[in-house]
């Protein structure tokens, strides 16, 4: 069995190398960099920068569903008839809206990690806790709340008249409209999230900005590497815009067909 897993790992590593957009056989750095400072291999910084791109995209993709789920729950709580829920979510959004993003990152990464470690120690556990730096990244509550308010109350009443439970009404009637209405705002939030991942460089994660910053300090070629970072971020934003535009066209077409 271990031989099978080793073979699968080798195949996966080969596939990753072949289709690597930066350092693969047809990668950008391999074809364009030559023997310069941004080439791949021992003589250049291409491998390190390619790793930074993977970390940046992975952070953004990992944070997106967390932010959407948390934002959806906050938006639901703000719509609730329970006053305590509305008050709690109002305080929460006011605090995080008023704090600088970098300070929020430090509080979550250092403060919350220390708090959880203290709780585990008090419970008699010696296990260590590592918190993802962007677990509290993108909160989409304001966008989703606006989308909720754009849906007439008659939609809820129609679901009730059809004999649907509140849960089925939300799933079958409200949620499809919510996605279509909130999609433009969520698209902007994704682009903001992609750029804000650069903040994690201050706590040591090897993202694009940290890798290019190290290369700039070592080689004394700051303009070259920071300019390369600009091009990479612009490329990621352009690809995201193309994908989000395709999703928006699909959502609008499915809405018209209904």
CATH number at residue 105: 1.10.3720.10
Domain total of the chain: 1
Instruction: Indicate the angle between helix axes 83-98 and 141-150, nearest 10 degrees.
Output: 130
pLDDT at residue 227 in the model: 93
In whole angstroms, give the CA distance from residue 203 to residue 231.
Answer: 23
- Structural domain span for residue 231: 45-257
37 contacts 215 by C-beta, under 8 angstroms: yes
| Residue that the structure tokens 């271990």 belong to | 2
Residue 156 falls within a domain, yes or no?
yes
In 3D, which of 141, 152, 150, 138 has the Cα closest to residue 181?
150
- Residue 189 located in a structural domain: yes
Output the pLDDT for position 135. 42
Maximum Cα–Cα distance across the chain: 70
- The reply to whether 163 falls in a domain is yes
Whether 38 maps to a domain, the answer reads no
User: Is 31 inside a domain boundary?
Assistant: no
Query: What pLDDT score was predicted for residue 183?
Result: 78
What's the pTM?
Answer: 0.73
The contacts of residue 184 (CB under 8 Å, 6+ apart) are: 248
Supply the pLDDT for residue 160: 78
Does residue 195 form part of some domain?
yes
Does some domain include residue 204? Answer: yes
Residue 221 belongs to a domain: yes
Q: What pLDDT does residue 226 have?
A: 92
Which of the residues in the chain have pLDDT under 70? 1-19, 108, 112-113, 116-117, 120, 125-149, 253-258
CA distance 131 to 141: 22
């Amino acid at each position: 069995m271990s031989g099978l897993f080793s073979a699968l790992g080798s195949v996966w590593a080969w596939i990753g190398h072949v289709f690597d957009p930066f350092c693969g056989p047809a990668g950008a750095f391999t074809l364009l960099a030559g023997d310069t400072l941004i080439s791949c291999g021992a003589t250049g910084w291409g491998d390190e920068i390619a790793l930074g791109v993977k970390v940046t995209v992975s952070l953004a993709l990992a944070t997106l569903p967390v932010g959407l789920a948390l934002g959806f729950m906050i938006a639901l709580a703000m719509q609730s008839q329970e006053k305590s829920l509305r008050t709690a979510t109002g305080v929460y959004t006011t605090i995080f809206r008023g704090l600088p993003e970098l300070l929020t990152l430090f509080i979550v990464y250092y403060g919350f990690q220390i708090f959880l470690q203290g709780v585990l120690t008090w419970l008699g556990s010696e296990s260590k806790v590592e918190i993802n730096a962007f677990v509290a990244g993108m909160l989409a509550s304001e966008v989703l709340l606006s989308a909720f308010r754009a849906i007439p109350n008659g939609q809820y009443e129609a679901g009730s008249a059809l004999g649907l439970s509140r849960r089925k009404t939300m799933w079958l009637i409200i949620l499809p409209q919510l996605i279509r209405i909130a999609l433009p705002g969520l698209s902007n939030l994704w682009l903001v999230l992609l750029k804000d991942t650069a903040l994690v460089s201050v706590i040591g994660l090897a993202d694009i900005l940290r890798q290019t910053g190290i290369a700039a300090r070592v080689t004394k070629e700051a303009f070259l590497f920071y300019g390369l970072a600009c091009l990479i971020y612009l490329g990621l934003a352009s690809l995201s815009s193309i994908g989000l535009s395709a999703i928006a066209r699909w959502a609008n077409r499915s809405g018209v067909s209904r």
